[in-house]
Structure formats: structure tokens, C-alpha cells
Structure 1
């Protein structure tokens, strides 16, 4: 039986990646381990396309759908421009729910300068919550295209913002009453407000102007899974340092309350990037100049089997999460 969340990489290789239809002549990058978007040659520019569902959120599901998909496109150095959305509503849903989700999608897309160009809506038997499946299209100059599999041994690993942002926001929204009793109303409000930091479009485009080898937004499975996915895609290993990984106090307390691992908690809003060591400081300064928190948390290494975290001076394997920690509480 498959666990909730993303299908494990070994299952993807066996059942998915060998069933991808005809090979397109203009496809520069297509689906693969750790690759969240496709890139298609359009002459002087490249079309970047990505698709993702939003399944674990209740409130703000339309907001998440736009930004999560925009993030995947931005990690290729492309500016998101066009969005298609399939909206599946549970039986018994009313028109108010439909309008609320579409208002969220419209407002989020408008703020990013993205046009909604197509999609599908229906009431789907058997659903307990709405599901929104988005497809984002973006465009980048051919010379500015960045790939998620481009990391090189010796590259510094930079993480923007904080680990577990999206998961913290979702849990605070879904389990607010319970958390309010434990930590108070103001705490829950702060944690829920992390949804406002979910976009990494500015992070990615800012870093790409200076120079990066690869970028990847850590969604399901959090920072831990994101590191494994980047390493998988590039055939590398990594070494990261626990004390350098930024985590908000609200995330730490919520994870302690529910016995969750913050490094395996869905982390949209953070951005992982592989940067040449000599440019890492410049990238961090450029991001901080725009008010974006950024930290060098480790480096990629040439040995694929070395995937470790250093804590309290001791090195141990950083395990790949079997599923996201979010599923334990929502």
C-alpha cells in the first residue's frame, strides 16, 4: 500500500517515468526525480510548465494553488504568466465555497501578474474537502534558464526564509482552537499568517540575476525531502548543519506539540538553491536587501551516498521522509 503524499522515488521510476508518451523534439527538460517543471524550447525564450494539486489545505486553498505552482516555475528562473486550474468540490458544496476559492485564485494571480486562461470545475462524489489542481506556465530567456538538476559538487546550499512555513500555517488554520488553548490566540494568528510568505518568485528571480546552478522549493516532505530531491536530480550527496537551518519559533512549538519533525514538514515559501561558493555571500546579501531571510546551510558533495546532517558536532544520515508530517495532524 502506498503511503499518503508524494509517491516514493523508486515507485515513480518503476511505474511513472517509463510511461511518458512520445518524446517531444523541443523538450529541453521533462519529468524526472526531483524535477518539478518542464522546459520547452520556443526559440529565443523557454516556456516553463508545472502542475501541482492542493489537497491538505482547507482555508486559503485557492491562494496556495496559485503560489505553489508559481513557485515551481520560478525555480527554473522563469516569471509565471499563465495559469490553468481544475477545481473539484465535495458533494454538498454551495455556491459560496466556489466563489470564495475563485476569489482567492483571482486575487493571488492578479498580484503576481498572472492571467487565468483555462480550467475545469465540478462537484466530485467521495471528496471530503475541495481539491484544486493548478498548472502554471512561465517564460524565461534561454540563457537564464535554471534547472533543478544543475547542482554541482562543492556548491553552497542556501535556504531562504524558514523551514516548515506552509505546514505551520495549515496546521494553525486547521487546528487553531486546540493550539489556542495551548499557546494563546496571538500565537495562532502569527503562525497562520505564514501563508503570506509562501511565494518564492522574488527569491528565485533575485538569486538568478546573480547566478545559481539549481533551485528547488521544498514542498511535501519539507526541507529534508527537498534536499534529497535536488541531490537525486544531480546525482550528488549533501552535508547540512542543523544549527544553520532557520526555523521559526512558532514552527518549533507546533512541531513539539504534535511530535512532528520540522525538517519533514511541507515548506512552500522557503527556497533551496545550489550556488557557486564564491557567489553564495553575494546571493545572500541580495536577498536580504529585499527583506528575504537567507542562510547558507551546507554544501553538495560528489558522493551520492553521503546525505547527512551535522548536529552538536555529530554527523548522522538525514533520512528521506516517507510522507509529509502534515498528514499526521490534518
Structure 2
């Protein structure tokens, strides 16, 4: 049986990556471990395409669909421009549900300057909640394309914002009554508003202007899985330091309450950047000028067998999460 969440890497290799249709002559970057978008040669520019479903959220599902897919495109250095959405509704849904999702999609896309150019809508038997599957297309000048496998040994790992932002917001929305009883309404409202920080488009485009080797947004499986995915893509290992990983107090409290690991909680809104050591200060300064919090949390190492976290002076393996912590509570 497959666990909830992302399909394990070994199963992707066994079942998925050996069944990818015809070879595309203009494909610069295709499907692979740790790769969240495709890059297709269009001459002077490169088309970047990404697709992701939103399955774990009720409220804000249209907002998440636009921003999560825009984030993937932006990690390649591309500006998101065109969006398609497939909306699947449970039986007995009324028109207000579809209207609400479309309003969220419209407002979110308009804010990013993205046009919604197509999609599909249907009522689907067997669902217990709406699902939105988004596809985002973006464009970047060829010389500014950032590849997912570009991390190099010795690169600093920079993390923008905080770990677990999306997961915190979803849990605060889905378990609001329970959390209000434990922490108060103000706490829950602050946690729910983490959704407002979910976009990394400005983070990524700002860092790419300075110069980076690779970027990745840690979604399912959180920071821990994101580190493994970046390392997978480049064939590297990593060493990170627990005390350097920024986590908001609301995330820590919610994770303690439900017994969750904040490093394995879906973390859209944060951005991982692999950067040459001599460019770190420039990147941090550029992000800081935009009001974007950023921290150096570790480095990539040459040995792919070294994937560790240092905590209280002790080094231990940082395990790849089997599934996202979100699924334990929603």
C-alpha cells in the first residue's frame, strides 16, 4: 500500500519515470526527482510549466492552487504568466462553492499578473471535499533559467521566511474551534493569516537577479523533504543546523499540541536557495530590502550519503518524511 502524500522516490523510479512518452527534443528539463517544473526551449526564452493539486485544504483552495503552482515556476527564475485549473467538486455541491473557488482563483491570479486561460470543472462522485488541480506556465530569458539540479558542493542553503507556514495555516483553519480552546482566538487568527505569506515569487525573482545555483519551494514533507529533493536533483548531501531553521512560535505551539514535526510540515511560503558562498550576503541584503526574512541554515556537501541535521552539538541523520505531518490532523 502506498502512504498518503507524495509517492516515495523509489516508486517514482520504478513506476513513473520509465513511462514518460516520446522524447521531447526541446525539453531542457523534464520529470525527475526533486524537479517541480519542466523547462521547454522557445528560442530566446524558456517556457516553464508546473502542475500541482490542492487536496488538503477547504477554505482558500483557489488561493493555494494559484500560489503553489506559481511558486514552482518562480523557482526556475521564471515569472508566472498563464494558469489553467481543473476543479473537481463533490456530489451535491451547490453553485456557491464553485463561485467561491473561482473568486479565489481570479483574485489570486490577478494579484500576480497571471491570466487564467483554461481548465475544466465537474462534479465527481466519491469525493468528500473539492480538489483543484492547477497548471502554471511562465517565461524566463534563457540565460536566467535556474535548474533544479544546479546545487554545488559547498553551496550555502538559504531559507526564506519560516518553516511550516502553509501547514500551520491549514491546521489553524481546519481545527479552529479546538485550537481556540487551547490557545485563544487571537493565536488562531495569527496562524490562519500565514496563508498571506505563501507566495515565493518575489523571493525567487529577487534572489535570481543577484545570482543563485538552484531554488526549490518545500511543499509536502516540509523542510526535511525539500532538502532531500534538492539533494536528489543534484546528487549531493547536506548538513543543516536545527537552531538556524526559522520557525514561528505559532507553528511550534500547534506542532507540540498535535505531536507533529514542524520540519516535515508542508511549507509553501518558504523558499530554499542554493547559493555560492561569496554571493550569500548580496542575496540576503536584496531579500532584506524587500522585507523578506532569510537565514542561512546549512550547506550542501559532495557525499550524497551525508544528509544530516546538527542539534545541540550532535549530528544525526535527517530522515526523509514518509508523508506530510498535515495528514495526521486534517
TM-score range, shorter chain: over 0.9
- Map of 2:322 onto structure 1: 322
Distance in 2 of aligned mates of 1:35 and 1:273? 14
- Map of 1:201 onto structure 2: 201
- Map of 1:174 onto structure 2: 174
- Map of 1:235 onto structure 2: 235
Deviation at 1:281, TM superposition (A): 1.3
Deviation at 1:285, TM superposition (A): 1.1
Distance in 1 of aligned mates of 2:127 and 2:51? 20
SS of structure 2 residue aligned to 1:59: coil
- Map of 2:136 onto structure 1: 136
Q: Which runs of 5+ in 2 are unaligned?
A: none
In the alignment, structure 1 residue 73 sits paired with structure 2 residue 73: yes
Distance in 2 of aligned mates of 1:134 and 1:66? 7
- Map of 2:107 onto structure 1: 107
Distance in 2 of aligned mates of 1:168 and 1:92? 30
- Map of 1:32 onto structure 2: 32
Distance in 2 of aligned mates of 1:126 and 1:219? 26
- Map of 1:118 onto structure 2: 118
Deviation at 1:17, TM superposition (A): 0.4
Deviation at 1:288, TM superposition (A): 1.1
Number of corresponding residues: 330
Distance in 1 of aligned mates of 2:69 and 2:166? 14
Distance in 2 of aligned mates of 1:148 and 1:269? 18
Deviation at 1:291, TM superposition (A): 0.5
Q: Deviations over 1:216-241 (max 9, x none)?
A: 00000000000000000000000000
Distance in 1 of aligned mates of 2:311 and 2:258? 22
- Map of 1:290 onto structure 2: 290
Distance in 2 of aligned mates of 1:329 and 1:147? 34
Deviation at 1:297, TM superposition (A): 0.2
Distance in 2 of aligned mates of 1:122 and 1:43? 37
Equivalent runs, 1:189-268 vs 2, <5 Å: 189-268=189-268
Distance in 2 of aligned mates of 1:294 and 1:83? 28
- TM-score (normalizing by structure 2): 1.00
Distance in 1 of aligned mates of 2:198 and 2:73? 14
SS of structure 2 residue aligned to 1:58: coil
Distance in 1 of aligned mates of 2:329 and 2:237? 31
Distance in 1 of aligned mates of 2:35 and 2:134? 17
Deviation at 1:282, TM superposition (A): 1.1
Distance in 2 of aligned mates of 1:235 and 1:115? 36
Deviation at 1:148, TM superposition (A): 1.1
- TM-score (normalizing by structure 1): 1.00
- Map of 2:13 onto structure 1: 13
SS of structure 2 residue aligned to 1:274: strand
- Map of 1:88 onto structure 2: 88
Q: Deviations over 1:95-134 (max 9, x none)?
A: 0000000000000000000000000000000000000000
SS of structure 2 residue aligned to 1:158: strand
Deviation at 1:2, TM superposition (A): 0.2
